[in-house]
Amino acid sequence: MDSVKIGIIGGAGHIGLVHAACFAALGYHTVAHDLKSATLKNIAKGKLPFHEPGLSELVNSSLENGRLLFTDQMNHLKDADVVYICVGTPPLPDDRADISQVEHAVEDLARIIQKEVVLVQKSTVPVGTARKIFTHLSQEALAEKIHLVSNPEFLAEGSAVEDFWHPDRIVIGSKHLEEADKVAFLYNPPGVPVVKTSWENAELIKHASNALLATRISYINEIARLCEKVGGDIRSISRGVGLDNRIGPHFLEAGVGFSGPCLEKDLRSLLSQFYQRGEEAPLLKSVLFINQQQRYLLVKKLEKHLGGLEGKRVGVLGLSFKPGTDDLRDSHSLPVIETLLSRGAEVTAHDPMVVHSSRAEWFNILFPSVKLVHSVQLAAEGSDALAILTAWPEYRELDLLKLKESMVNPVIVDGRNLFYPKILRGGGIKYEGVGI
């Protein structure tokens, strides 16, 4: 391990920083490069740009033992044996993934590399990207010096470090088996399946995986709508369905829908890849439509209970796209709040992590009229309704019967099904979940 040097391009981002810290913890000399100089300085001081359980400890220990270096100088990667590209691929207006940062990373590395290197494409890219890069490298007579591998990431925010140590599988797409073997050896997790395949297959495995997860969520949300019409309980149905070994229990929780920086972006990107090749994808289109409708239906429930939203005060509980993270990127909470405001509601918001993080400033800029408060009590005080949008464990422990005393109207619309309707309705609360 002492003889292997790893470079990370995009080392201050979520995927890049986790990989840099974990590779360094494995004993590899790791150099994390990023253009965000101010962010790198903060990381070196122990201040990470986002919350991820267990990551701060890894970064600090690796900085102390000298196995991890952060730099904004690409030249520091010139003698790396393996370089990972972990830059962003944000959506373009037509939903195609913007791979310009990936292309720039390849160009920058090609200018400074001094020996043969394995270049690992970790960023989520459309199918055909690796072959396109390989063609470019061949035209520049660099294909024999830069050996390209596609190695999609499957790290979930809030458990990214744990996912690195205990992956379900490792997918490696390459032109030659020896390159795939070299990358697989770096991880070397005992008993973990390693899928060695082509570039195109590796790129599609990533998109197909996220699209299937999104499909399961939209599917159970569609069944939840019928539950509300016939008196069913989607939680019981999800359990009964999930106990089938062919199906499993994961991603079968009804609610306000999926969101965040991956599932919807990757789903839209996959749809665009169908369209570019003259193909329709009606199932995937429906998955996206159902998910968008879930947010609208939650607002509709609030309107029903309040007789309209004009002049009503709504307390929103939960801003991050999932518990365990302060990430607001493409969170379902943002369009819900935007819709509430557009219909004349006054919004007060709480999130146990966002309120204490740097994301709070960004949120206040995005929604200057929304009051971000430090407690659920303040969000509920004087409100006409509460909307629960993120399944934070803290919210599951709330005493809603006590909380209702500070509300003008005891209306709670629960987008995460954290409570039991009979108990709350018996206590004088107008409670409505999703499919229960």
Buried b / exposed e over 45-72, threshold 16 CB at 10 Å, is eeebbbbbebbbebbbebbeeebbbbbb
User: Which one is catalytic: 22, 86, 227, 262?
Assistant: 262
Residue found by looking up tokens 């107008």 in the block? 430
- The answer to whether residues 140 and 105 touch, using CB atoms and an 8 Å cutoff, is no
- Torsional sign, CA 19, 329, 286, 298: positive
Query: What count of other Cβ atoms lies within 10 Å of the Cβ of residue 408?
Result: 14
- The answer to whether residues 427 and 405 touch, using CB atoms and an 8 Å cutoff, is no
Residue 372: left if φ>0, alpha if ψ -120 to 50, beta else—which one? beta
Q: Kind of pairing, strands 346-350 and 313-317?
A: parallel
The Cα–Cα gap between 177 and 182 comes to 9
What is the per-residue DSSP string for 137-177? Answer: HHHTT-TTTEEEEE----PPTTSHHHHHHS-S-EEEEESSH
- The answer to whether residues 55 and 23 touch, using CB atoms and an 8 Å cutoff, is no
Q: In the numeric block, which tokens belong to residue 134? A: 């390989």
- The answer to whether residues 229 and 243 touch, using CB atoms and an 8 Å cutoff, is no
Q: Kind of pairing, strands 170-174 and 146-150?
A: antiparallel
Phi, psi of 141 (to 5 degrees): 60, 40
Residue 22 annotated among the catalytic residues of the structure: no
- The answer to whether residues 13 and 89 touch, using CB atoms and an 8 Å cutoff, is no
Question: For the chain, how big is the Rg over CA atoms in Å?
Answer: 24
Within 13 Å of residue 256, how many CA atoms lie on the same side as its CB?
32
Catalytic residues: 262
